[in-house]
Amino acid sequence: MSSSVLNNFPITKKWPAQHPERLQLYSLPTPNGVKVSIMLEETGLAYEPHLVSFETNDQTSPEFLSLNPNNKIPAIIDPQGPGGKPLALFESGAILIYLADKTGQCIPTDAAERYECLQWLMFQMGGIGPMFGQLGFFNKFAGKAYEDKRPRDRYVAESTRLLAVVNQRLADRKWIMGDTYTIADIAIFPWIRNLIGFYEAGELVGINDFPHVQRALAEFVGRPAVQRGLLIPARG
């Protein structure tokens, strides 16, 4: 594939493609970012990662905003999208669905089960991500200086409730959808890992009260593709 196809995207001026025939990933190894790198590693799709550094505000650069006006990672360009035409996408959930459909991997083929899987993906996007992120702010970052702990406690309570939902779901299942590993797992478990690791909130949410979550999280993190994806793109 000629690099001229990608040259139509202004983002490639800041992050030139060394392999323009491959899917281009613009990301950072955050809970949302690693969803896509893990999915790419699981599927075996050829891709080229580009680090979007928050330290230098890459996400607010005109080049990145040309791909995602919401200035959030991750984002992709697939030079071989639907109909053989390049496709640009942002929002990690949308990218997971696209990659699952493109490869036929990590998503049920049965229509009813597919929608059930997507419901759990939306559960992560609408609940786990925003609530865990707020808890991280109030427990580890600037919010921890607030004397009033009611905001933190609100997010502790909601995050604990969400973990209980996941724990109940996993009580009689290996993965969110049963025996089959899907994009629902790829979306949910990086956030749980981050909550009890980087956000240092495991004790606050009583993670030891959720043995099924702990068991599935350990199995998730043990997957070779997950171990690789958690480090992609490599921080400088």
Which tens digit of pLDDT belongs to each residue from 141-194?
999 999 999 999 999 999 999 999 999 999 999 999 999 999 999 999 999 999
Which tens digit of pLDDT belongs to each residue from 181-204?
999 999 999 999 999 999 999 999
DSSP state of 107: S
DSSP state of 172: G
What is the pLDDT confidence band of residue 3, given thresholds at 50, 70 and 90? Answer: low
N-terminal to C-terminal alpha carbon distance within the chain: 28
Per-residue model confidence (pLDDT) at position 4? 73
Strands 23-27 and 47-51, bridge-based pairing: parallel
Mean pLDDT of 204-225: 98
Cα 184 to Cα 96: distance, rounded to the nearest angstrom: 9
Cα 205 to Cα 200: distance, rounded to the nearest angstrom: 10
Mean pLDDT of 208-218: 98
What is the pLDDT confidence band of residue 1, given thresholds at 50, 70 and 90? Answer: very low
24 sits in which H/E element: strand 23-27
Fill in the amino acid letter for 167: N
Q: What is the dihedral of CA 84, 19, 183, 215, to 10 degrees?
A: 160
Which tens digit of pLDDT belongs to each residue from 222-236?
999 999 999 999 997
Token reading at 128? 């786990």
- Indicate the angle between helix axes 150-169 and 129-140, nearest 10 degrees: 140
Which tens digit of pLDDT belongs to each residue from 58-112?
999 999 999 999 999 999 999 999 999 999 999 999 999 999 999 999 999 999 9
Per-residue model confidence (pLDDT) at position 175? 98
Residue 5 makes CB contacts below 8 A (sequence gap 6+) with 20, 79, 86
Q: Phi/psi class of residue 50: alpha, beta or left (left: φ > 0; alpha: ψ in -120 to 50)?
A: beta
Which tens digit of pLDDT belongs to each residue from 115-136?
999 999 999 999 999 999 999 9
Residue 2 has pLDDT above 60, yes or no: no
User: DSSP string spanning 67-84?
Assistant: H-TT--S-EEEETT-GGG
The structure's pTM equals 0.96
User: DSSP string spanning 27-72?
Assistant: E-SSHHHHHHHHHHHHHT--EEEEE--TTTTGGGSHHHHHH-TT--
**Full strand arrangement of the beta sheet holding 75-78:** 47-51, 23-27, 75-78, 87-90
Which residues does residue 178 pair with via DSSP β-bridges, in sequence order? 175
